[in-house]
Amino acid sequence: MEKLRISGTNPLFGEIAVCGAKNAAVAIIPAALLVNGVCRIENIPDIKDVRLIIDMLVQLGASVTYVNDTTIEVNSSRLKTHVAPTELASKMRASYYLLGALLGRMNKAEVALPGGCNFGTRPIDLHEKGFRALGATVEIEDGIVYTNAQELCGCTIYLDTVSVGATINIMLAAVLAKGRTVIENAAKEPHIVDVANFLNAMGAKVRGAGTDVIRITGVPEMRGGCYSIIPDQIEAGTFMLLAAAAGGEVLVRNIIPKHMDSLTSKLEEMGVNVTEYDDSIRIERSGSLKGISVRTMPYPGFPTDLQPQMVALLSTVKGNSTVTEDVWENRFQYVDELRAMGADIEISGKKALIKGGTLHGSEVRATDLRAGAALIIAGAATEGVTQISSPHYIDRGYSDIERRLRSIGVKIERIFEAD
Ligand code: UD1
């Protein structure tokens, strides 16, 4: 059995660079299916979810060539099918982007319902609503989503809930549709803007990404180009929280400081010294920190994908804190693992009440991607040895994690135990 073993606690020093954004990459790579030509995509992270989505593109008939470790060229001019490989699609959440991309390019798609981390119900009704408004039929049978259109026509769609996935999927389906599409109450996450910028670089006309209203004027064809993915906001935040928890002085490089505003202000409120540069942030923590209240919200609010890592940090900070999860209905399952390390966390509905204190190393399990990152943070800030099983969840979103963390002083190694 594979595990990550961490020995805490020592302050961290040095520099760590952030990779390209996972959630942008897993949308931009399928978006290349819309392009009748070659897309060169730079700064892709070397993580499992990206490899999975690339495999799916290849099975759909796209040719994908690695130029180097972080750059691929995708040529979708000869797609051979609109049917995504079921086994692969059901392994990850972002496979739902194949629906929008294939529908947009081929007027039809068959894709298994998505998998991914389990935070309670994860509906796709808003994606369906968008496709129907564009003129497609959508049916779900035996876990497969079938969508079909004679022709896609621009329309106005109001999203009842702010949804990252639905906003991107409707953009993908609309860029080649006839006429104008307006998405109201759109999500504003950095990767929404990144996908829009990618589409525009390939020849689309998408305006307003990053605001509540996105306007898309359909174009007859997209012909290809070159695009570089933004740095990962969540990976950057994970490293910032890790440095705050373990103490010391760490420069997190290749970052867009504006994307980190909600986290930066919370860290400063706790007493962490945060210095912003053009494309890096220095985290310094020497003394003790104080408890705070945090509420997750769509961007520019505090990201739900940093909630478990923030709870891990707050568990090590003396005093009371509250963390309210307002995006997902059930994103506190990992708390039992922190409790095994001695954390005092009470869950009351959407709220976690944390009485911070001293944790101890323990045997724990990564229950999902960000929960796994939270356990690394707790382990690095805690006396003794913490062993995290199921590290494959962490590998879905963090590339070469133990080597990169060792470079700033985290005592972490991957071990293999006989089952
Ligand atoms: C994306 C991210 C995920 C992150 C989430 C919120 C990817 C691959 N995943 O997930 O890491 O946690 O954004 O920032 O980018 N909802 C509906 N109907 C829908 C779609 C969503 O009611 O059709 C609800 C969800 O239940 C949830 C909320 O909207 O409560 C936000 O979900 P959404 O933004 O769509 O998340 P994902 O795109 O799945």
For range 284-296, the mean pLDDT = 95
Judged against a pLDDT cut of 90, whether residue 286 lies above it is answered with no
Phi, psi of 297 (to 5 degrees): -155, 165
Q: In the predicted model, what is the mean pLDDT of the chain?
A: 96
96 lines ligand 1 (CB under 6 A): no
Burial class (CB in 10 A: 0-12, 13-18, 19+), 301: middle
Burial class (CB in 10 A: 0-12, 13-18, 19+), 142: exposed
Residue 116 confidence (pLDDT): 63
160 lines ligand 1 (CB under 6 A): no
Q: Are 186 and 166 a contacting pair, CB within 8 Å?
A: no
Determine the distance separating the centroid of ligand 1 and the alpha carbon of 150, expressed in angstroms: 29
Place of tokens 């705070």: 292
Omega before residue 298 within 30° of 0, cis: no
Q: Which of 278, 164, 270, 257 is nearest to 214 (CA)?
A: 164
Paired with 63 in beta bridges are: 75
Task: Cite the DSSP H helix spans in 71-189.
Answer: 86-89, 97-106, 125-133, 164-174
For range 139-159, the mean pLDDT = 96
Residue 128 confidence (pLDDT): 96
Q: Which CATH superfamily is domain 2-18+232-416 in?
A: Enolpyruvate transferase domain (3.65.10.10)
166 lines ligand 1 (CB under 6 A): yes
Report the alpha-carbon distance of residue 399 to residue 45 in Å, rounded: 7
Report the alpha-carbon distance of residue 208 to residue 243 in Å, rounded: 35
Largest CA-CA distance found in the chain, in angstroms, rounded: 64
Q: Are 43 and 20 a contacting pair, CB within 8 Å?
A: yes
Report the alpha-carbon distance of residue 302 to residue 281 in Å, rounded: 17
Ligand 1 atom with minimal separation from the 327 CA: 30
Place of tokens 């991914």: 116
Ligand 1 atom with minimal separation from the 23 CA: 15
Q: Which of 28, 81, 78, 35 is nearest to 50 (CA)?
A: 28
Q: Whose CA is nearest to atom 25 of ligand 1?
A: 122
Active-site option among 117, 153, 155, 226: 117
Omega before residue 9 within 30° of 0, cis: yes
- Testing ligand 1's pocket by substitution, the residue of 161, 185, 188, 193 carrying the most ligand atoms inside 8 A of its CB is 161
Q: Which of 83-92, 295-304, 361-370 has the lowest mean pLDDT?
A: 83-92
Alpha carbon of residue 209 to chain centroid: 18
> What is the three-class DSSP state of 63?
strand
Residue 289 confidence (pLDDT): 97
Determine the distance separating the centroid of ligand 1 and the alpha carbon of 255, expressed in angstroms: 23
Q: 19 an active-site residue?
A: no
| The two three-digit tokens of residue 197, written as one number | 């910028």
23 lines ligand 1 (CB under 6 A): yes
Determine the distance separating the centroid of ligand 1 and the alpha carbon of 40, expressed in angstroms: 27
Determine the distance separating the centroid of ligand 1 and the alpha carbon of 304, expressed in angstroms: 10
Ligand 1 atom with minimal separation from the 187 CA: 34
Judged against a pLDDT cut of 80, whether residue 223 lies above it is answered with yes
Determine the distance separating the centroid of ligand 1 and the alpha carbon of 187, expressed in angstroms: 10
164-174 helix and 97-106 helix, angle to the nearest 10 degrees: 10
> Distance between terminal CA atoms of the chain?
5
pTM above 0.85, yes or no: yes
Radius of gyration of the chain (CA): 21
122 lines ligand 1 (CB under 6 A): yes
For range 86-101, the mean pLDDT = 92
Residue 123 confidence (pLDDT): 87
26 lines ligand 1 (CB under 6 A): yes
The dihedral formed by the CA atoms of 166, 241, 117 and 108, expressed in degrees to the nearest 10: 30
Q: Whose CA is nearest to atom 29 of ligand 1?
A: 163
| Region(s) of the chain under CATH 3.65.10.10 | 2-18+232-416, 22-228
Q: Which of 271, 297, 315, 25 is nearest to 161 (CA)?
A: 297
Report the topology of domain 22-228: UDP-n-acetylglucosamine1-carboxyvinyl-transferase; Chain (3.65.10)
- Between strands 363-365 and 384-389, the pairing is parallel
- Testing ligand 1's pocket by substitution, the residue of 164, 194, 331 carrying the most ligand atoms inside 8 A of its CB is 164
Judged against a pLDDT cut of 80, whether residue 117 lies above it is answered with no
242 lines ligand 1 (CB under 6 A): no
Q: Are 138 and 147 a contacting pair, CB within 8 Å?
A: yes
Judged against a pLDDT cut of 70, whether residue 349 lies above it is answered with yes
Judged against a pLDDT cut of 80, whether residue 120 lies above it is answered with no
Report the alpha-carbon distance of residue 408 to residue 419 in Å, rounded: 31
Residue 419 confidence (pLDDT): 72
| The two three-digit tokens of residue 369, written as one number | 């991607």
Residue 112 confidence (pLDDT): 93
For range 87-106, the mean pLDDT = 93
Residue 377: band (very low, low, confident or very high) from pLDDT cuts 50, 70, 90: very high
pLDDT per residue as tens digits for the range 20-61: 999 999 999 999 999 999 999 999 999 999 999 999 999 999
Report the alpha-carbon distance of residue 129 to residue 298 in Å, rounded: 20
Ligand 1 atom with minimal separation from the 168 CA: 38
- Testing ligand 1's pocket by substitution, the residue of 53, 91, 122, 171 carrying the most ligand atoms inside 8 A of its CB is 122
Cα angle value 221/185/218 (rounded, 5°): 15
Judged against a pLDDT cut of 80, whether residue 236 lies above it is answered with yes
Residue 417: band (very low, low, confident or very high) from pLDDT cuts 50, 70, 90: confident
Q: Which DSSP string corresponds to 351-392?
A: EEEEEE---B--EEE--SHHHHHHHHHHHHTSBEEEEEE-TH
Report the alpha-carbon distance of residue 226 to residue 74 in Å, rounded: 10
| The two three-digit tokens of residue 205, written as one number | 């006309």
Judged against a pLDDT cut of 80, whether residue 118 lies above it is answered with no
Residue 91: band (very low, low, confident or very high) from pLDDT cuts 50, 70, 90: confident
382 lines ligand 1 (CB under 6 A): no
Burial class (CB in 10 A: 0-12, 13-18, 19+), 388: buried
- Testing ligand 1's pocket by substitution, the residue of 147, 163, 235, 302 carrying the most ligand atoms inside 8 A of its CB is 163
327 lines ligand 1 (CB under 6 A): yes
> What is the three-class DSSP state of 108?
strand
Determine the distance separating the centroid of ligand 1 and the alpha carbon of 342, expressed in angstroms: 31
Q: Whose CA is nearest to atom 4 of ligand 1?
A: 305
